[in-house]
Every structure is written in C-alpha cells, then in structure tokens.
C-alpha cells in the first residue's frame, strides 16, 4: 500500500558549497530505510534536471517520491553549476580537494545530514546514479559511515576514458572513420588517441591538433587555462578508478539497476559487468535489476529511438525501478531482523 509523504526543502553545506536539497519523508509510521541519492557527472538541479540543456529527466525527484511512497526517507541534492541554485560560500574550502574527489566528500556530508534529520530507521542505503555510482562504491567501503546497502543506478563498469574509447570504437565499426555523435562529428582514430594521450598525461600530437573535427576538443582540453587543467585532472582522477574492482570491495549488499536501452556512454552491458564482478566475490549479497526497455534515466524507450532522442525524454521515471529497489531493501531488512 502506497504511503503519503511530504518533502522538506533545505540547504546542504559541504566542501564550501551550499546545495539545494530535498528530504522526501513518509508520513506516519516508522521509516523503513534512509536513502541518499548521489547525482551523476553533470551539473543538475535538486530534481535531477540539467539547466542549460534539453535534458529534463527529473529522475532524482521521481525516484525519491516513489521510494517515499514505499515508506523510505530519501535525501537528494543539487550539484554545483549554472542554474542549479547551488552556490559557493567558501572558495578556499572548495579547492581543498580536486573536482572528482569533492563529490565523495559531499556525499559523506549528505549521509551525516540524513542521519541527523532521520535518527531512526531500519538501515541506511546509498544510491548513486551514473558517476554517482562510482562515488557511492567508494563511500560504501568506509566502515565509519555505516552504509548498510549500496545501489548502483546506471553506473559505469569501465574506467572513465574507456567509456568514450569503447563507444567510439563501436560507432566506427558501423560508420567508418568519421563518426557522428549527433551534435558533432569526429575522426574516430584521433578522438580515441586523444583520450589515450590524456590518460598518459601527454600533449596532443600535431595531427590531432591539425584535424578540424578535433578543434573543439583541442581548444577545450589542450591548453594551460585553469579550467582546462581542472578538467584534465578530473578526467584522470575519474579514470584512475576501475568500477569493476571497487564494487568487489563494497562490504554491504549491492543492487545493480540497469536499463537495456542505456546508450549514453554507460552502455547497457555495464550493469551485467558490475553484477558479474561483484557476484564472483559475494554471490549471496549481489543482485541485478535489469529492465530491457529503459534508458539511462529509466524512461521507457521504443525500438528505433536514437540515443540522442532517448537522452532528452522527460516522461515519468518508470515505477518498476522504485518498486524493485524497495522490494530489495525490504528483503534486506527482514534478513537484518532475523
């Protein structure tokens, strides 16, 4: 039976940021699980929309509300960027940690805040979406945070730069040397080589610099501006993490949630890769929830839909996702109480 819920708006202060946050809380009765939703790689508002882009999936709001209706308390928060409502309040603290690592410390602050706001529950779960899945794996490994369950939502199984390399290689098999991403076209060989050079910390070669299809990437990545240096460091720090290794280190139960129409860079087979990696180590506490017709933000996709079209779908997040998570958590609760 679905429960009524309310939402409390607040500001989460962490790492020198003040971030809009919302706690979705069931009304009446005891809270089953406390859940923190960790956002993905792009700047998003508190509902999981991406200001300045056509992407308005509102996944985080939808999922939080679905789970609150099932009796769980869910904290979601914005990620800093233009139009998200987030602001910098302490610039020195912001730069105390590199861009990639910063998100892990913010997640830790969100966990502490949720414990403060909801002191009693059956357990605490971390659910990370896309890049947030990687941060969630790292956070769940820290015994002092007391994470009782981890949920990977459309999380990558490959290292960061391998996501781009793998996608380009697959597209080149179908399209040839010049591959079309929709918003831009690039020379596949130069595009792949650029990521390999960034991984190695080496400058772009002259043939990459001379390639007109690579002009945007050269201007964005191969310069000595503060923004470029921070971007390059972010990519290397992200790339240094192998999700299939880190997920095997998570001591608490793990649920991998994946859509079969995910082609956003995180491909549909990433869910199976993550599941198999952890299942080999912890078979009894690893589960996969696979939805063949859902994309990266868990919207239903019809056959023939391009990945560009799928990315901008704004329908309701499929309720099967929230239900699957809740059923899994309820099962863990029963195990913990028995």
Q: How confident is the model at residue 224 (pLDDT cuts 50, 70, 90)?
A: confident
Residue 263: DSSP 8-state = B
CA–CA distances in Å: residue 25 to residues 1, 33, 118, 165: 16, 10, 9, 41
Q: Is residue 38 helix, strand or coil?
A: strand
Per-residue pLDDT at 72:
98
Residue-wise pLDDT for 79-112, tens only, equals 999 999 999 999 999 999 999 999 999 999 999 9
Nearest-angstrom CA–CA distance, 324 and 311: 23
Q: How confident is the model at residue 333 (pLDDT cuts 50, 70, 90)?
A: low
pLDDT tops 90 at residue 217: no
Q: What value, to the nearest 5°, has the Cα angle with vertex 21 and ends 122 and 86?
A: 150
Residue-wise pLDDT for 284-319, tens only, equals 999 999 999 999 999 999 888 887 888 899 999 999
Per-residue pLDDT at 269:
92
Name the residue with tokens 């199976």. 272
pLDDT tops 80 at residue 223: no
Residue-wise pLDDT for 21-52, tens only, equals 999 999 987 899 999 999 999 999 999 999 99
CB atoms inside a 10 Å sphere around CB 129: 28
Written as six digits, the tokens of 298 are 């868990």
CA–CA distances in Å: residue 22 to residues 11, 17, 117, 238, 241: 8, 16, 11, 27, 29
Q: If residue 103 lies in a helix (H) or strand (E), which one and from where to where?
A: helix 99-117
Quote the mean pLDDT of the chain.
Answer: 94
Q: Could you tell me the domains of the chain?
A: 5-158+242-337 (3.40.50.1820), 160-238 (no CATH)
Written as six digits, the tokens of 332 are 């863990």
Name the residue with tokens 């020379």. 187
Per-residue pLDDT at 338:
35
Per-residue pLDDT at 222:
74
By C-alpha distance, which of 238, 291, 239, 286 is closest to 262? Answer: 291
Per-residue pLDDT at 334:
52
Q: How many CA atoms lie within 13 A of 249 on its CB side?
A: 16
Written as six digits, the tokens of 45 are 């508002």
CB-based contacts of 128, cutoff 8 Å, min separation 6: 37, 38, 107, 134, 135, 136, 137, 150, 151, 152, 153, 155
CB atoms inside a 10 Å sphere around CB 277: 19
Written as six digits, the tokens of 46 are 């508190």
By C-alpha distance, which of 40, 260, 254, 66 is closest to 129? Answer: 40
By C-alpha distance, which of 135, 167, 169 is closest to 36? Answer: 135
CB 158 within 8 A of CB 131: no
């Amino acid at each position: 039976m679905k429960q009524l819920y309310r939402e409390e708006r607040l500001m989460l202060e962490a790492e020198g940021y003040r971030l809009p946050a919302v706690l979705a809380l069931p009304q009446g009765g005891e809270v089953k699980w406390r859940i923190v939703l960790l956002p993905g790689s792009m700047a998003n508002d508190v509902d999981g929309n991406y200001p300045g882009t056509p992407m308005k999936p509102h996944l985080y709001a939808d999922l939080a509300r679905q789970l609150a209706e099932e009796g769980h308390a869910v904290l979601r928060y914005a990620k800093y960027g233009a139009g998200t409502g987030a602001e910098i309040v302490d610039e020195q603290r912001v730069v105390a940690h590199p861009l990639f690592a910063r998100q892990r410390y913010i997640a830790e602050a969100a966990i502490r805040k949720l414990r403060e706001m909801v002191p009693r529950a059956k357990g605490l779960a971390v659910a990370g979406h896309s890049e947030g899945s990687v941060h969630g794996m790292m956070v769940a490994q820290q015994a002092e945070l007391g994470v009782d369950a981890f949920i990977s939502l459309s999380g990558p199984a490959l290292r960061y730069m391998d996501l781009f390399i793998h996608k380009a290689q697959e597209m080149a098999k179908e399209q040839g040397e010049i591959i079309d991403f929709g918003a831009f076209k690039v020379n596949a060989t130069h595009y792949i080589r650029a990521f390999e050079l960034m991984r190695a910390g080496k400058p772009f070669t002259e043939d990459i610099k001379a390639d007109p299809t690579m002009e945007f990437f050269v201007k964005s990545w191969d310069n000595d501006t503060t923004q470029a240096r921070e971007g390059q460091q972010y990519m290397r720090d992200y790339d240094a993490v192998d999700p299939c290794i880190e997920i095997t280190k998570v001591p608490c139960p793990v649920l991998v949630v994946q859509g079969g129409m995910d082609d956003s860079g995180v491909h549909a087979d990433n869910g199976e890769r993550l599941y198999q990696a952890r299942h080999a180590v912890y078979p009894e506490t690893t589960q996969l929830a696979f939805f063949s017709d859902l994309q990266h933000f868990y919207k239903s996709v019809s056959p023939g839909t391009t990945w560009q079209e799928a990315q901008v779908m704004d329908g309701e997040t499929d309720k099967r996702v929230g239900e699957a998570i809740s059923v899994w958590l309820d099962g863990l609760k029963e195990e913990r109480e028995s």
